Amino acid sequence: MKKIKTAFIYKPSNPYMARTAWATTYYHFFMNALNRHADLDMAYFPAEKKFDVSKLRDKFDIILLWENHPWGSPDELSGIQNLDIPVICRVNDAHDAIKKGKIAYHEKYKIDHYFGYFSDRFFHEYYPKNFKYKVIFYGVEPKLYENLTPYSKRIKERILCSGATARRNLTGRLRDILRGNDSIFQHHYKLRTMCTELPYVDYTTTLQHEFINDKYSLLLMQYSASIAADTLAPVVKYWENPAAGCLTFMEVTERNQASILGFEDGKNAVFINEKNYEKKFSDYISDPNNPKWSEIAENGRDYTMNNLTNDVAADSLVELFKEYIK
């Protein structure tokens, strides 16, 4: 089969693509997983302010954008309105589409289809119903989750929790309100924040340790159990944590629709919510050497590595590309 010639356009100063941010989640997917896919012929076009897409005419089958906003894509795609190449675009933080004016870029970038790891329902809460969208769970780069620390040699008496949290003190809350972030932190990280207040939970913010970028999996491998909690929607740590061999306590609710990931409570993850999280943690902390926990952790890793890696995500994106070049 002829390879799909794909032009990936992105802003090189974006911290995730420049590898100066805390995570390499996006970098590995776009720069490595897609590049090694057998059906793709990738070409990379970094541009800051303006990129003339007319030079791509008759040379490419697909235009791929880092996101529908100039934070990660060039400010202007000159000539895009006169080009008939399909434009596929990643969605970043669907909930801030209106606040950051992202919907306007649907026409500016002439986007045909979006993809991201949010549910279809979540995406269309913030975007028009006629915008096309596909769920793709990218983020786990397989090579970073090899040679795991054996489960039996990890910290068992404590549970790891990492990432942003809501401010609990008055000063912090006022600071977030002034910055316009209060509702974001309170709504996104309510349960995660509650978890950090428990005496047996080890909490670290994203940047308070050396385990950033490609080293994050090394932090996870120190612990037998970890927490993945987001009130609005599942995020990459939902599949990063089990990939690292952790028993993963996942916030799964009707609101966040984390069930779309396909994990099963008690089989390859432990589901938690605001009502039962302390009981679920207590069951583990009171009997951390029970073999059922390592079994759940192992099942979670197997499920993740078979269904939620960057290579599986690349396959899914290629399927979307093929819909536009038949």
- Can you give the CATH number for the domain in which 110 is found? 3.40.50
Q: Are residues 90 and 232 in the same domain?
A: no
Closest CA to 309 of 6, 28, 20, 13: 28
Sheet holding 40-46, edge to edge: 40-46, 4-10, 62-65, 87-90, 113-116, 133-135
CB atoms under 10 Å from CB of 266, counted, come to: 10
- Residue count of the chain: 326
User: Structural domain tally of the chain?
Assistant: 2
Q: Is the pLDDT of residue 248 over 80?
A: yes
Strand-strand pairing, 40-46 and 4-10:
parallel
How does DSSP assign 300-315, residue by residue? HHHHHHHHSBHHHHHH
Distance CA 67, CA 73 (A): 6
How many Cα atoms occupy the beta-carbon half-sphere of 297 within 13 Å?
27
- Selected residue with higher pLDDT from 185 and 322: 322
pLDDT, average across residues 290-308: 98
Q: Are residues 165 and 290 in the same domain?
A: yes
pLDDT, average across residues 252-271: 98
Q: Are residues 25 and 111 in the same domain?
A: yes
**Least confident interval from 46-50, 150-154, 175-179:** 175-179
Q: What proportions of the chain, in percent to the nearest 5, are helix, strand and coil?
A: 40, 20, 40
Q: 12: Cβ–Cβ under 8 A, 6 or more apart, which residues?
A: 18, 46, 47, 48
What is the tens place of the pLDDT at every residue in 175-214?
544 545 445 555 679 999 999 999 999 998 755 668 888 9
Q: Are residues 303 and 316 in the same domain?
A: no
Q: Are residues 156 and 93 in the same domain?
A: no
**Least confident interval from 78-87, 125-134, 182-191, 238-247:** 182-191
What pLDDT, on a 0 to 100 scale, did the predictor assign at position 182?
45
CATH number, position 284: 3.40.50.2000
Contact (CB, 8 A) for 265 and 175: no
What pLDDT, on a 0 to 100 scale, did the predictor assign at position 222?
96
For residue 300, give its domain range: 142-307
Distance CA 321, CA 61 (A): 9
Q: Is the pLDDT of residue 34 over 60?
A: yes
What is the tens place of the pLDDT at every residue in 100-150?
999 999 999 999 999 999 999 999 999 999 999 999 999 999 999 999 999
What pLDDT, on a 0 to 100 scale, did the predictor assign at position 209?
65
Q: Are residues 43 and 150 in the same domain?
A: no
What pLDDT, on a 0 to 100 scale, did the predictor assign at position 181?
46
Q: Are residues 259 and 149 in the same domain?
A: yes
What pLDDT, on a 0 to 100 scale, did the predictor assign at position 213?
85
Sign of torsion, CA 237 242 244 247?
Answer: positive
Q: Are residues 254 and 318 in the same domain?
A: no
Q: Are residues 130 and 149 in the same domain?
A: no
The whole-chain average pLDDT of the chain stands at 93
pLDDT category at 8 given cuts 50, 70, 90 is very high
What pLDDT, on a 0 to 100 scale, did the predictor assign at position 109?
98
Q: Are residues 53 and 178 in the same domain?
A: no
Q: Are residues 41 and 176 in the same domain?
A: no
Hey, which bits of the chain come out as E strands? 4-10, 40-46, 50-52, 62-65, 76-78, 87-90, 113-116, 133-135, 159-162, 201-204, 225-228, 247-251, 270-272
Query: Residue 168 is encoded by which pair of tokens?
Result: 């609990």
State the Cα angle at 145 between 319 and 223, rounded to 5°. 130
Check residue 114 and give left, alpha or beta (phi > 0: left; psi -120 to 50: alpha): beta
Q: Are residues 107 and 253 in the same domain?
A: no
Distance CA 294, CA 246 (A): 8
Distance CA 62, CA 325 (A): 8
pLDDT, average across residues 51-73: 97
Distance CA 37, CA 202 (A): 38
State the Cα angle at 235 between 93 and 245, rounded to 5°. 160
pLDDT category at 290 given cuts 50, 70, 90 is very high
pLDDT, average across residues 72-88: 97
**Least confident interval from 122-131, 163-172, 307-316, 317-326:** 163-172
